[in-house]
């Protein structure tokens, strides 16, 4: 289990990009993920729905479908994991990551017990340090776009032992700046998988948007 977690952590740090799949219909899920893979994406998360409109069982089914279809090709995680039960559901469905918008100690510790890579959300240095003490593998700076790369750089200097990811408001234009500021990776949702692309099943557009982020994050110019 430890080796599996280490492999997931390594893939996140190598690819630097996690795409958030939120409210994607089951009939569009597989072609959407295939389009992301074609664009160079290697890590995705399927988000639970806190509003209650989409049952957790449906989200679990989506996670299972992706984990089975893209085994060995995509790292599949669960997003918006807000309860210990959702962490368990995610693990049982084949997820290897649990990502949350906040730093709830019970969810962090449960995720680690279940063998999941734990990625809680935080905004302040106090929240980030607390998440790390609870066992977080990465700390998701959220919403990163509201503060900007400069804020991340300031926070990351004294907390240099933490692995930060930047989520929320990250674009192809500022993605590289977040990496240069100290983030190990970024998370993107609508900037790659837009509502329009889903409705029109514009998989070429999804591939192109994904490729633009992959290119922006590439180390080849360094």
Q: What is the pLDDT along the chain (222 residues), one digit of tens a residue?
A: 457 889 999 999 999 999 999 999 999 999 999 999 999 999 999 999 999 899 999 999 999 999 999 999 999 999 999 999 999 999 999 999 999 999 999 999 999 999 999 999 999 999 999 999 999 999 999 999 999 999 999 999 999 999 999 999 999 999 999 999 999 999 999 999 999 999 999 999 999 999 999 999 987 544
Measured distance CA(32)–CA(34) in Å, rounded: 5
Ordered by start, the domain boundaries in the chain are 2-217
Asked if 140 and 122 touch (Cβ cutoff 8 Å), the reply is: yes
Sheet-wide strand order for 117-119: 117-119, 97-99, 75-79, 43-47, 17-21, 183-188, 164-167, 139-141, 121-122
Measured distance CA(135)–CA(13) in Å, rounded: 18
Tokens for 72? Answer: 């060995």
pTM: predicted TM-score of the whole model, two decimal places: 0.94
Other residues' Cβ atoms within 10 Å of the Cβ of residue 140: 31
Tokens for 88? Answer: 């368990």
Q: What is residue 109's three-state secondary structure? A: helix
| Residue 222: predicted pLDDT | 43
Measured distance CA(113)–CA(36) in Å, rounded: 30
Show the 3-state SS of 16-68. Answer: CEEEEECCCCHHHHHHHHHHHHHCCCCEEEEECCCCCCCCHHHHHHHHHHHHH
The domain 2-217 belongs to what CATH superfamily?
Answer: Aldolase class I (3.20.20.70)
């Amino acid at each position: 289990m430890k080796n599996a977690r280490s492999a997931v952590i390594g893939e996140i740090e190598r690819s630097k990009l996690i795409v958030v799949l939120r409210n994607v219909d089951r009939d569009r899920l597989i072609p959407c993920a295939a389009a992301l893979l074609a664009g160079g994406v290697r890590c995705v998360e399927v988000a639970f729905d806190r509003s209650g409109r989409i049952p957790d069982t449906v989200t679990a089914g989506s996670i299972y479908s992706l984990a089975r279809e893209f085994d060995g090709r995509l790292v599949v995680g669960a997003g918006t994991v807000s309860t210990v039960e959702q962490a368990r559901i995610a693990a049982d469905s084949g997820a290897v990551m649990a990502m949350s918008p906040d730093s709830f100690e019970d969810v962090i510790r449960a995720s680690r017990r279940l063998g999941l890579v734990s990625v809680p959300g935080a905004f302040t240095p106090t929240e980030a340090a607390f998440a790390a003490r609870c066992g977080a593998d990465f700390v998701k700076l959220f919403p990163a776009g509201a503060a900007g790369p400069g804020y991340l750089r300031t926070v990351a200097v004294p907390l240099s032992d933490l692995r930060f990811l930047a989520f929320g408001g990250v674009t192809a234009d500022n993605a590289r700046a977040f990496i240069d500021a100290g983030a190990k990776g970024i998370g993107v949702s609508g900037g790659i998988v837009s509502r329009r692309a889903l409705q029109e099943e514009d998989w070429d557009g999804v591939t192109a948007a994904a490729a633009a982020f992959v290119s922006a994050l590439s180390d080849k110019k360094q």
